[in-house]
Structure 1
Amino acid sequence: METTLLYQNLAILAAFLLIYSLIAGRFESKLINGPLLFLLAGALLGPGGVGLLSLEINHEGIRLLAELTLVIVLFTDAANTDWRVLLANRSLPIRLLLIGLPLTLVLGTLFGRWLFPQLPLLELAILATILAPTDAALGKAVVSNPAVPAPIREGLNQESGLNDGICVPVLLLLLALIAPTEQHQGTGALALTLMLEEIGIGIAVALALSQVTLWLLRRSYLNGWQLPLWRQLTLPGLALLCFALAQTLGGSGFIAAFVGGLLIGHRFGEHKHEYLDSCEGYGDLLSVVIWMVFGATLLPVLPDLLHWQYWLYALASLTLLRMVPVWLCLVGSGLRPELRLFVGWFGPRGLASIVFAVMVLQHRPALLGQGPIIKTVLCTILLSVILHGISANPWVRRFKSS
């Protein structure tokens, strides 16, 4: 990319960020929330619009940007967890992860089999896995609003934090099984190894790094080594280190970042907000960039998405394939019907699905159904940003008035 275009892109992004920061209050309580506005702005300013944003980002660049955004968001949301509420209502995330998530994967695969009969079953399972994780950033209007009952907020937050980490080994297993048969003898052993490595290494890295960080923080405080300016970088640095080290060792960086945030938030207690403000700011900044990039790159390929099968699966993914498993897994939980519907509906798809889709794009050999799979994922994310964006605040207001 030419230097002039690089600075032009930076100027456009900075100008949009400056203006939005001054008028954010006008949007966050309305139908059009942050991510939806960022996506629309990217579409308008990008190559498919007026062409002011001239982006030349490859798959690896988009994946890295989405991963960094997801890591900061996961860590921050986990660190902000209210442990008293979580422990008192731990059955909700457990039900969603251990019952609801597997049901979603199975239903998504079976529905794909009916809708895309020409695709192999394993590839349909890959599609279901890409779209199973929920996005805490897109659901921020729900998980951060005190009008929503605290158990629901914490349950959705923990689900979105852990389900993408759980889906990573599932996706890797499915991609491994796509390879020639002689490369994956012993499927059961492979599945067990992937699960143990991804989840176990991620948790071990989070435990080790959080303990070391806490010890260093105590030493730093007692010796007067801390400076307010640099203290802002402590937790963002820990979040990125958890992710990068776990990925380097063959584990799930997303699980490491989320568990690291949980541990740090628990140990910091009421003092955690002194360290977390900058982390939230970095997450918001990266979110602006990723959704504008997504909008700018999506609009030019919209003609390729005009196929009823893609949109039908997208609509089903946000409704039938998510809400039915959630309803079933919450039977006997004591939640009233409206709250079950609320939990089922607010499973937005976003950053994790983008990361997983790029992993599929980079897989060699390419999947037989790579085109339909990626296009269906794009349709689902776009539909999610729009529908969840315009429905979050109105539904939350129902809780305020009741």
Structure 2
Amino acid sequence: MPFPNLMAASSSTGDSTLLLFALVLLLSVLVSQFANRSVLSTAVVFLVAGFICGPGVTGALRLSPDQPIVSGFIELALFSVLYTDGMRVGIRDLTSAWKLPGRALLFGLPLTLVAVGVVAKFLLGLSWTEAAVIGAVLSPTDPVFAAAIVGREEVPYRLRHLLNVESGLNDGLALPLVLIALGIAGKAELELATMLTELGVGVAIGVVVPWIAIRLESTRVFASSEPYRPLLGFAIGLTVLALTRMFHANEFLAAFAAGMTIATKDEKLRERFHELGELLAELFKLAALLIFGALIDPSYFGEIGLTGWTFVFLTLVLARPLAMLVSFAGTDLTKREWVAAAWFGPKGFASVFFAFLVLQHHLDHGVWIFHLLAVTVGTSIIAHSSTDVIVARWFDEEEAQ
């Protein structure tokens, strides 16, 4: 019977993935102190470990994009990332020092999308709709891969605030654009009403669930004890995830809306959940990067060709800097702050998930586009994660002068 064999294969894949993740995590923790002082990045360690153990190199991990373990884990990781990202940007955070993040989001995000799309259209010869998909997928940023920038006191606060707020919001803002672009470019008919309903119900669940939980928790009857208070944030997120799947709503916008609602309504809950939430999101993200690395086959590097590599280069060193140059025109950013903001636009974890969506929408060149996106995101993670400490020290030297 094939069913037991399938279950055995799935179990074997899960066990080997779990073992590899545990070993790489152990190694990363043991060298974390050294990594904080060098260009070594934990994200790069997991990405490279997955690549080496993937089917294209050693074959220790037998993973493919169509396996449930891959899509399921990527979705769970993005949900946790968006949930914790949302908690960084409550209404109070948005109204304070909004000028620079607002420019990055309202001008920088769409300008980056357009710049990447134009390059994809004329350099790669793709259709406008496929080019728009690539632009939307690669427009969000994730400074988690540039942790030394947002976590160092020597880096100016307004720059750290800019990158934090921008990355916290642009994943959620880019998601509808990605879905619309994929719907237009894909072979399946775009059901705009259905998609908007899923998005709207997702946002509603994301706002209502934490609002009710926070109201209940503030009463004497339902007040939580201090040791359990961090778990309240976890329980809210889990409830939101379950309800969105039950009602077929968009779980990612729900996660982001839930995080923002908590940040706005209950500052203490945000603070108490912060350490647990960030740790859980980081674990999910690292595991997903391991899986993503295992899916990058060495053949992709040659398959995308010279034009593909030219696209990768222009995307990383031209599209974002040009968009930021226009967005911050007339502001009082120093040259070093502008350079850091322009360079640290790493293609983050949201782009990893969006790349998987490309495969599910059956674009004419969908497989090739996925390979191109995989190489672009992987290159971005390595390039940005390897230069964050250097740029942070650059600001430290400026302060010492």
State the TM bucket, normalised to the shorter chain: 0.7 to 0.9
Over the residues paired in the alignment, what is the CA RMSD in angstroms?
2.9
Aligned mates of 1:72, 1:180 — CA distance in 2 = 30
Q: How does 1:71-220 map to 2 (within 5 A)?
A: 71-81=79-89, 86-117=94-125, 119-178=126-185, 190=192, 197=197, 200-219=200-219
- Answer with 51-60 or 327-336: which moved more: 51-60
Confirm whether residue 237 of structure 1 aligns to residue 235 of structure 2.
yes
Confirm whether residue 372 of structure 1 aligns to residue 368 of structure 2.
yes
Confirm whether residue 392 of structure 1 aligns to residue 388 of structure 2.
yes
Confirm whether residue 9 of structure 1 aligns to residue 17 of structure 2.
yes
Secondary structure at 1:139 match in 2? helix
Q: CA offset at residue 121 of structure 1?
A: 1.2
| 1:352 alignment counterpart | 350
Q: How does 1:249-260 map to 2 (within 5 A)?
A: 252-260=250-258
* TM-score normalised per structure 2: 0.86
Relative distance call for 1:242 and 1:147 in structure 2 (3 A) is farther
Relative distance call for 1:316 and 1:7 in structure 2 (3 A) is same
Secondary structure at 1:309 match in 2? helix
Aligned mates of 1:157, 1:198 — CA distance in 2 = 27
Q: CA offset at residue 227 of structure 1?
A: 7.2
| 1:261 alignment counterpart | 259
Q: CA offset at residue 83 of structure 1?
A: 7.2
- Count of aligned pairs between the two proteins: 390
CA contact (8 A) 1:68 1:240 kept: no
| 1:35 alignment counterpart | 43
Confirm whether residue 310 of structure 1 aligns to residue 317 of structure 2.
no
The answer for unaligned runs of 5 or more in structure 1 is none
CA contact (8 A) 1:73 1:283 kept: yes
Q: CA offset at residue 324 of structure 1?
A: 0.4
Secondary structure at 1:134 match in 2? coil
Deviations 1:138-160 (A, max 9, x none): 23332333332222222222222
Percent identity at matched positions? 29
Q: CA offset at residue 39 of structure 1?
A: 1.0
* TM-score normalised per structure 1: 0.86
Aligned mates of 2:185, 2:304 — CA distance in 1 = 28
Q: CA offset at residue 106 of structure 1?
A: 1.8
Aligned mates of 2:158, 2:357 — CA distance in 1 = 34
Q: CA offset at residue 268 of structure 1?
A: 3.2
Secondary structure at 2:218 match in 1? helix
CA contact (8 A) 2:230 2:273 kept: yes
